[in-house]
Structure 1
Amino acid sequence: MKKEKLQQLREDYSKSALDESDILEDPVQQFEKWMEEALKSEVPEPNAMTLSTVDMQQKPHSRVVLLKGIEDGNFIFFTNYASQKGEEMEENPNVALCFLWLELERQVRIEGEAEKLPGEQSLAYFKERPYKSQLGALASNQSAVVPNRAFLEERFKELEGKYAEGEVPKPETWGGYKVKPEVFEFWQGRRSRLHDRIKYEKVGNKWDIKRLSP
């Protein structure tokens, strides 16, 4: 691809604005408001969020996971504890989340600490998952090297036969995390690249709110 093609890409955002007089004092409530608007606008998978972690060599790694709930201000998601991201969060619980809703010209960045959910909460959610999603979690040793696609499909078929009529057991290494936010940034695209950026930062028990230059 020619460099010029990328340089010529332009979008002039104009759908909305974000003013200090319009935002809520609690960033979690502000996020929930924006999420509701994303749901009503039928944004594809509005709960998809980029999760960034840091390894022991201080190298960052990012991937997309799905937000599965907000409880007591904490952001909930589930994954494999033995995966690369699981191992990195075990060593360094500081993480970043990023939601991008292009249809609304919006982005939300969140920084905070990740902590494992209680085992019973992870088990309860696992039991609510679709049958084949349960099998997929059991079949995959996430992030481990496999010889080929056929290896995974054969493993899945074996488990499908083994648990055709019974309850699928939750893998010991599968479970949930909660991210306790310490920083939020709400971004609203505006014309001429003069975007709106509102930052919330936790100071004690209160949220300090600032406008940032785009």
Structure 2
Amino acid sequence: MTDLKHPSEELTKGDFAEVKKPFDLFSEWLEDAKASEPNDPNALALATVDPSGLPNVRMVLLKDVDDRGFVFYTNFESAKGRELLSSGKAAMCFHWKSLRRQVRVRGVVHQVTVDEADTYYQSRPRGSRIGAWASKQSRPLESRFALEKEVARFTAKFGIGDIPRPEYWSGMRLEPTSIEFWHDRPFRLHDRILFTREGPDQPWDKERLYP
């Protein structure tokens, strides 16, 4: 339960006063989430836009983060993949209910390197690697049995040997131009801090926002 102290007292105790680098704060919050969230602390809502300008959003898993950006993986022939490659832009929202915290991210997206994609792909369970070959992600599926047949076909094809990464399956790195941190406070007088920059190699500006 939230400690309902006087709101002015709460606002003087924000997490943000000395923060200079948003990635440092994000890493701290992600570690806190790993200790408190019951499932998938690295889950995020990923927003894209289709060619008509209509937005799409779905949950994906963050697989890496550093000062270069936020990395996730997908089938580039899926709706998500096509939209990312077409627009080159995306937004993310992390929400950790147990911590009453949220992080919103916006920026440009670029493919990860071949080495990064290969390394992550080989770290996946064997069944997931086969699934990347068997699933024509986002396209119509006549029946569950049809999917199971494809899984069986690729299981037999690769036997017990190596499973190469499909060319259409790789990762994207969102290089943020804005990162907003939100922390629940009593009386809905929440803390909001926004970091912005002109581009990936530019310095960050920081400002506090009204709740």
TM-score by length of 1: 0.88
Q: Bigger shift: 130-139 or 201-210?
A: 201-210
Deviation at 1:162, TM superposition (A): 2.4
Q: List runs of 5+ in structure 2 lacking aligned partners.
A: 5-9
Deviation at 1:21, TM superposition (A): 5.1
Q: Distance in 2 between matches of 1:42 and 1:107?
A: 13
- The change in CA–CA distance for 1:158 and 1:188 in structure 2 (over 3 A counts) is same
Q: Give the equivalent residue in structure 1 for 2:137.
A: 142
Deviation at 1:121, TM superposition (A): 1.9
The answer to whether the 8 Å contact 1:43/1:101 transfers is: no
Q: Give the equivalent residue in structure 2 for 1:209.
A: 206
Q: Distance in 2 between matches of 1:63 and 1:41?
A: 23
Supply the RMSD in Å over aligned alpha carbons.
2.0
Q: Give the equivalent residue in structure 2 for 1:157.
A: 152
**Structural mapping, 1:73-88, within 5 Å:** 73-88=68-83
Could you say what secondary structure the match of 1:161 adopts?
A: helix
Q: Give the equivalent residue in structure 1 for 2:126.
A: 131
Could you say what secondary structure the match of 2:108 adopts?
A: strand
Q: Give the equivalent residue in structure 1 for 2:7.
A: none
Identity between Structure 1 and Structure 2 (%): 37
Q: Deviations over 1:8-41 (max 9, x none)?
A: xxxx855987626545210011100111111122
2:94 is the alignment partner of 1:99: yes
Q: Distance in 1 between matches of 2:120 and 2:15?
A: 37
Q: Give the equivalent residue in structure 2 for 1:181.
A: 176
Q: Distance in 1 between matches of 2:23 and 2:210?
A: 22
Q: List runs of 5+ in structure 1 lacking aligned partners.
A: 1-11
Could you say what secondary structure the match of 1:171 adopts?
A: coil
Could you say what secondary structure the match of 2:33 adopts?
A: helix
Deviation at 1:98, TM superposition (A): 0.6
Could you say what secondary structure the match of 2:56 adopts?
A: strand
TM-score by length of 2: 0.89
Q: Give the equivalent residue in structure 1 for 2:117.
A: 122
The answer to whether the 8 Å contact 1:53/1:61 transfers is: yes
